[in-house]
Structure 1
Amino acid sequence: MKATMNLAVVGAGPVGLALALHAARALPDARITLFDARPAELDMSVDPRTLALSLGSVQLLQRLGAWHAESAQPILEVHVSQQPPSLGGVLSQWFGEPQVRIRAVDEAVPLLGAVLSYGAIVAPLQQAWLAACEREPKRLTSRFGAAVTALKPVSDGVEVDAGVCETFDLAVVAEGGVFSDQVRKAVTHDYKQTAWVGTATLQDARRGVAYERFTRHGPAALLPLKDGRAALVWCVHSDDDPVSELDDAQRLLVLNTIFHPEVGRIVEISPLKRFALGLNAERTLTDGRTVRIGNAAQTLHPVAGQGLNLGLRDAFELVRSLAGSADVDAVLRRLEWKRAPDRWAIIAATDFLARSFTWQLPGAGTARGLAMAALQAMAPLKSALARQMMYGSR
């Protein structure tokens, strides 16, 4: 990497901070500037939004020295099931109610992933980045409170306008936002689904188990948190939303009829917030000397919980490629085909699952139930799926 390499990172969320911190270590001769519209003094550690990380993402944060295990709840098992009736008749007698169990012990790993708050991810990353800036102030720069309003391609670089125009060899955009607020990209689909999110308190919950339940309205998930609580994601049709008119007590009653009996009793839920769900993805990660990663490149349905994990893999592969070559344009050309298998496999799988809940085809639930029963019975296939979810395509 040439000594004059100037890298701009736009967005100080988990993906942008991870990329900036990794680049600071892997590209010791590069000058790196991190931009974000929020002020640096804003305390991000209190942000309560819940995120699920795969084992691969946990390992990446550990490598960066930005993983605080005490803030996270390990996922030791994932239990996937479908609300009856699924198979019916003879099929139910043969297979029982379909369910899939993926356990860390079966995959010979300490955990499948972890659940923690947005603040518990961002705060350690930002702390590590600011410490690196203090050690190398001439090479690493933070521009908090500076919103990037435009990116303009120039000869052998890109011009970044954040109140003052500066030219960089490469700009990486990791500033995404949620589906409803985004400008539509090349590949887009509105699933006409709403995600209601909050927390639930479980009675006698099994520690470290994540539950996903397929219902006729959409998927619902409980992600384990500490102290017997779980993060709730409840997806329903937007045009016929059965949740919006219910009060918290009524929602609690309905939730206790949705999930698998193994979950036990849900005794309390927090006030729920709702978000529109859709697919919004760029066909390519690169455009000249601008690269988009994370939600800036693809916003996915939460059914598979892979959005952040995919963004972190985008970031690490980009830095690894830059560390191996001084030719930025060649790196960006290779980045497309190196990331394509992992990226499009996750996009396609997530899109397929999300669309399947909008199908009005007879037997769709039965087909999904049979697929789950077959997956549970075929240990090698289930293990391959677990590895894909933990690490992505390698």
Structure 2
Amino acid sequence: MAENATPDRILQLARSLEGPLVDFCRRLVQTPSPSGDEGRVAELVEAELKALGYDEVWRDKAGNVLGVIRGEGGPTVMFNAHMDHVDPGNPERWPYPPFAGVIAEGYLWGRGACDTKAALAAQVYAGGALKRAGLRPAGDLYVAAVVMEEVGGAGSRLLAANFRPEVGVFGEPSGNRLALGHRGRLELAVRVVGRSAHASAPELAVNPHFSLARFILGLPKVERASHPVFGASSCAPTLYTTDTVSTNVIPGEATLFLDWRNVPGERAEAVVGRLQKLLAESLDPGAAGSVRLLEVRQKTYTGLEVNFPDEMPDFETPADNPYARRALKVLGDLFPDRAAPYYWRFATDAGHFGRVGTVALGFAPGDDTLPHTYEERVGLRELVEGLAGYIGLALGLGRQDG
């Protein structure tokens, strides 16, 4: 850690920025930014990075906003948080309007508050805090505000293709604990093609429902990889479609959609192979079937068209990794009651960077049970502590003595 940047000084520095930090986070929450429409929040982030004195600030072709504070030649550190959020749902179900940015009961309430605008605000202000205190990180510090994480991570996918920092800290809610991994996600389609017929003559049909019914009943017996931390992979049938909307027609084809959560080390090809075997065993004579990983086609708010497999990669960083050790030491000194590593249940953008060799870590304020709910909020004290954590990580991850 930089000389004289003691835990007490870091906490004091973070508290001195509470007012502008909360104000910025509130403005982010008050600005709706659904996936593919993050432009207005991007403008706020870009302006704040410039106002805080980042050495360079720019947007890439996908609409990600990046700022950098130049360091002293050590390892490059990236802070990463997404600007988009999921749909707020029925506004009447919320205790406070989802985009009002209400501060009540010690919390900032609203859609995106902890997923992940609190992390984004704290990351942006961490660099500003370094500038204010005259502290310089060991290596370059990048802050990346990315697009479309909630719908597959197009922003981070594109960023990871051309930018590979030594270590990345991903801002998903962790209760200001260090996250060291999560399962991946595969979105799969299981399609059966039979033969349609009038519902009054079922003997003339090859009804795809029966093949898929056997397939569904066989799913619990399909082999799943197991992991000492994450347990076994899971599989959930989610949606079901046919090629007809008429109730008096036996469909000619039907498609079942699966959400497979894979543990680290379990590859998509192996999962598809096991499901194809079950499907072959489930088909009626005359029916054909296939299992495929879905493909995503999207357009970012800048107009960039992207397509990629509907997969969120897993990641796991060992606790004895040098960067993980440094992070655990930094956070343990700041928050002694939160010194143990933690693991997310949901998938994040961290896997995209972990896949290309960046050491992935997770850290952010927020309760991980609140994203995507009507109770989404972030504690103001936790937000300030999150800023302290990011300041400490910005200074401590580049040390060569960990």
TM-score of the aligned structures, taking structure 2 as reference length: 0.27
Report the structure number with the largest CA radius of gyration: 2
Query: Whose RCO is larger (CA < 8 A, sep 6+)?
Result: 2
If each structure's strand is expressed as a fraction of its own residues, which one has the higher value? 1
TM-score of the aligned structures, taking structure 1 as reference length: 0.28
